[in-house]
């Protein structure tokens, strides 16, 4: 599959976007890079442009960073000092089949794409992306556990909270490293799966009882479940690694008060493996651009 003849605007982003750019360029798309003027080397067919210079009437797809925009429409650009702001007016210039790709969204981005009647794809809501991303997330979690403890993972008792896409990968990896892993969940099917994996299941409503003997607590539930009552029952040497999206699921104030080390660890894939994290996005994006853009563009012409 090639992207020859497609014009794609890549607006802002971090090191992960460099892999996306490489992949799309390899597939022969013409790329307008906005917010990348400090980037030294660009491939042929790739043009560094200012937002005002881009002819959006010819843009088939817009790729935003993992974070999308902020609530005022500003896009993070780490390779530029310029302020880049995506507006409804810009999106309205694009052809009707133009698709906007972002990691996550917010009310601003939802609203401008809805008003302009353009398709918005939130890559991080996709199961495939979440599962692939759990791989570098696990490696980052292992790194943090090693850096912040004086004991081996092997032989330690680790409680993992949540058996979603991240929780399952984390549980399996710590199990294979020789930890005694127990996993907290609330659904009976999750309890059954944990048992099947050879790990110790417990119901999250029993969390305060289950933390009495743990060395490491890894939370993936984006709700305040590691609350003061739970932290109060933990041994003082326990390390809490909270992977859930900001603000996490831990009462960090109380953990600090009790002298328990608690770390909020967001965006691990972008930190420990930006290249892999970018490749994950690049691979999914090329498939999606084929489905969303090439087919719809073909239908219109």
Chain residues that interact with ligand NAP, rule: CB under 6 A? 130, 133, 137, 162-167, 185-187, 204, 220-223, 243-245, 265-269
Answer whether 193's CB lies under 8 Å from 216's CB. no
CA 241 to chain centre: 17
Q: How far is the CB of 245 from ligand NAP (least distance, A)?
A: 3
φ, ψ for residue 62 (rounded to 5)? -120, 130
What's the CA gap between 220 and 242, in Å, rounded? Answer: 7
| Shortest CB 60 distance to ligand NAP, Å | 29
Nearer to ligand NAP, 28 or 110 (CB): 110
Here the tokens at position 238 are 């326990």
Q: Which is nearer to ligand NAP, 48 or 203 (CB)?
A: 203
Closer to ligand NAP by Cβ: residue 130 or 143: 130
Q: What is the DSSP string of 213-280?
A: T-SEEEE--SSS-B-HHHHTTS-TT-EEEE-SSTT-SB-HHHHHHHT-EEEE---HHHHH-HHHHHHH
Which is nearer to ligand NAP, 130 or 153 (by Cβ)?
A: 130
Q: What angle do CA 172, 157, 179 make, to 5 degrees?
A: 40
Quick one: 77 or 220, whose CB is closer to ligand NAP?
Answer: 220
Contact predicate 61/256, CB 8 Å: no
Minimal distance in Å, beta carbon 186 to ligand NAP?
5
Q: How far is the CB of 134 from ligand NAP (least distance, A)?
A: 6
Give the whole-angstrom CA distance, residue 64 versus residue 13: 7
Q: First CA to last CA across the chain, in angstroms? A: 20
Nearer to ligand NAP, 35 or 278 (CB): 278
Q: How far is the CB of 75 from ligand NAP (least distance, A)?
A: 20
Residue least distant from ligand NAP (Cβ): 164
CB 293 to ligand NAP: min, Å: 26
């Amino acid at each position: 599959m090639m992207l020859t003849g497609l014009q794609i605007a890549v607006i802002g982003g971090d090191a992960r976007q460099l892999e996306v750019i490489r992949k799309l360029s390899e597939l022969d798309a013409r790329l307008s890079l906005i917010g990348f003027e400090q980037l030294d080397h660009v491939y042929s067919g790739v043009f560094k442009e200012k937002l005002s210079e881009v002819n959006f009437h010819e843009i088939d797809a817009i790729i935003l960073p993992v974070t999308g925009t902020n609530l005022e429409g500003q896009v993070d650009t780490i390779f530029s000092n310029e302020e880049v702001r995506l507006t409804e007016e810009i999106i309205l210039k694009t052809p009707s089949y133009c698709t906007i790709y972002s990691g996550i969204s917010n009310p601003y981005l939802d609203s401008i794409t809805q008003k302009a009647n353009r398709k918005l794809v939130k890559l991080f809501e996709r199961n495939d992306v979440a599962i692939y991303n759990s791989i570098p997330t696990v490696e980052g979690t292992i790194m943090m556990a090693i850096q912040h403890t004086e004991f081996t993972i092997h032989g330690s008792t680790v409680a993992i909270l949540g058996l979603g896409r991240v929780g399952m990968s984390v549980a399996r990896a710590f199990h294979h490293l020789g930890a005694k892993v127990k996993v907290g969940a609330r659904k009976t099917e999750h309890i059954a799966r944990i048992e099947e994996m050879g790990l110790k299941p417990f119901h999250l409503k029993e969390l305060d009882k289950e933390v009495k003997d743990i060395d490491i607590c890894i939370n993936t539930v984006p709700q305040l479940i590691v609350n003061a009552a739970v932290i109060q029952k933990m041994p003082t040497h326990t390390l809490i690694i909270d992977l859930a999206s900001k603000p996490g699921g831990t009462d960090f104030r109380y953990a600090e008060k009790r002298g328990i080390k608690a770390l909020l660890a967001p965006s691990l894939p972008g930190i420990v493996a930006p290249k892999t994290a970018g490749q994950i996005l690049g691979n999914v994006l090329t498939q999606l651009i084929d489905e969303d853009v090439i087919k719809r563009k073909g239908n219109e012409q």
